[in-house]
Structure 1
Amino acid sequence: MPEERGKREMIQCVVCIRPLSDSVPVLADSAAEKLTAPSAPGGMNPDDKAAVEAALRLREAEGGTVAVLCAGQKTAEKILREALAMGCDEAVRAEVPFPDGTFAGAAASALKAALENRSWDLILMGGQAIDSDVAQTGALLAEALSLPQLTQAQTLTLRGGQVCAQCLFDGREVLLEAPLPCLATVTDKLAAPRYATFAGISEAYDKPLRRLEYKGEAAGQGTLRVKTVVNRQRGRKGEILRDPSPQAAAAQLLSFIRGEGLL
């Protein structure tokens, strides 16, 4: 559980990230009634990478530490090393028996279990992943930890024990504040992530990367079911007017517009 901040100015930040395939999307399997995440080489989710950058900037401004956490299988260590190369201090992988990122509830449960035995002030994570696109893990984790949450943050600052964030809400941008400890999800517009330097890549292999085994149930597998898969309806094909006469082409176009009731 988080420690009392008191007069301590340095911040302990944990960034929760997840891998995604940059070539194979999450698939809906109506026969098995579930989502499947095919195993394929991938990278860090863009919103998560912005969260890593935001945490590193907070550490540079306030002091403290940045740990990166992922609930995933062994292939997830690739993006954990990437985050270490960017400058994070340590990495933790919660070993899970389910495909990476397929079930938001299961991922939130595994992340909660990994967070219970460490100290932290602020949890950052991407607002949503670009493959499953459900945007639920952050909200479920905040609820599980009984934390206030700021969602879809596009700016993030600390002020007097408060997290200040400019967030998207109902098509508008609003300035919100929440006391520490709290959880914030960010968009890729918050910060352009830094490139890992050669020195950073070399140092990444000297930094700790711990593995925790998550033995709980994969929550969400019994509640999220794919019942039907429907192909998206395509629009009608366009029509090319090939009459050489501009007057005749204009007449045909006007007739079409009137026929569609657009005029």
Structure 2
Amino acid sequence: MLPAARHQAILDAVQRERVVRVSDLAHQLGVSLMTVRRDIELLEEGGKLERIHGGAKLPGDASTHEPGFELKSTQLTAEKRAIAVEAATLVHEGMAVGLSAGTTTWALARELAGGPRVTVVTNSVRIADLFHHAASSGSARHASTVILVGGERTPSDALVGPIATGALKQLHLDVLFLGVHGMDADAGFTTPNLLEAETDRAFVAAARKTVVLADHTKWGMLGISSIAALDEVDEVISDAGLSAEARRVLQERVGRLRLPTVQSAG
């Protein structure tokens, strides 16, 4: 592959996944780690990406940047649905289920809206609306009870802050499905919003079991605030795009790692 084609392939990967690893690029492009590092250095000099430890990311994609719900909901839809279908197998009639805000937890809500009758506790306006519309349209087999905590609204349509956190401290959940901005071996599970991190920590404290829902692009992403360490959650459900190194770390540190098969389009 010529250098120009290699550079474009690297930029395409960064645009698609936001954060890429040198080892993954080397494998995909069939070149050495040193070649990829040199390519990344040249692309950084041109202002097209930013080098990070072991990889590269979008320039200016800071740890406090929080993409909106509409943009995120169009990305990796097949992976998110596979994760949601797998997560739904953990939910049974009569459970108290926590759903934090996010597009992957929203995908899970779509699966649960037609499933067993449960009590859903969420800080997501989108998730609460989804259950409301399912019940109103009659598409839900049984109408679940939905508790929407209050608080300050974020760009991802999460309700956060002291009101949300205070409400969660009074509740007890059988299982929490937690959406995250990033996963990292050292920082654990993170978010770019300080108030959301506090609210998510209250979610984790309220739950008997915590299951993180995160597609493979979340590995290596780093938000400004940590929600929980890797070994503080019971399961992670991701997808087969997760790198070998990420799988190794998660399998060693998390109670269980699930990688459901993603159905190809068509």
TM-score by length of 1: 0.33
TM-score by length of 2: 0.33
Larger Rg: 1
Larger fraction in strand = 1
